Amino acid sequence: MMKDILIAEDNGDLRAIFARVFEHSDYNVRVATDGQETIQQLTEAVPDMLILDINMPRVSGLDVLTHIKDNPAYDRMKKVIVTGNFLAQHEPEAAFADAFLVKPVSIADLVKLSEQLLSDS
């Protein structure tokens, strides 16, 4: 069964690269350009995995994590933080993620990690 992934990333180039790689790996991919759009898309349909940037406009990735942790509808969703802000891993909200990767990330590593996390669910 195809898995659904939501990619929340404000950098257009990176968002496109992530989307293309996961689409070629047979995932259903949706994208969000900021935290507010991410929350909106999560309320429409809960994906199997969320790939989340921290430093996004309007609503930060940390605020998205706070929204997620307070809602049991997201308990089964895997959450992977992909950020250039290595200090964000020390934020309390980061504890709600299943994995934390610092940019620049290896696309192959991101796909492998995603496959591992999704095979556990």
Q: Per residue of the chain (121 residues), give pLDDT as tens.
A: 789 999 999 999 999 999 999 999 889 999 999 999 999 999 999 999 999 999 999 999 999 999 999 899 999 999 999 998 888 888 888 888 999 999 999 999 999 999 999 996 5
Q: Which two tokens stand for residue 98?
A: 């299943």
Q: In this structure, are strands 49-52 and 28-32 parallel, antiparallel, or unpaired?
A: unpaired
CA triple 60-20-43, angle to 5 deg: 40
| Predicted TM-score of the model (pTM) | 0.94
Instruction: Measure Cα distances from 91 to 6, 66, 69, 97, 114 in Å.
Output: 22, 11, 14, 11, 22
In sequence order, the 6+-apart residues with CB closer than 8 A to the CB of 4 are: 27, 28, 29, 30, 45, 47, 48, 49
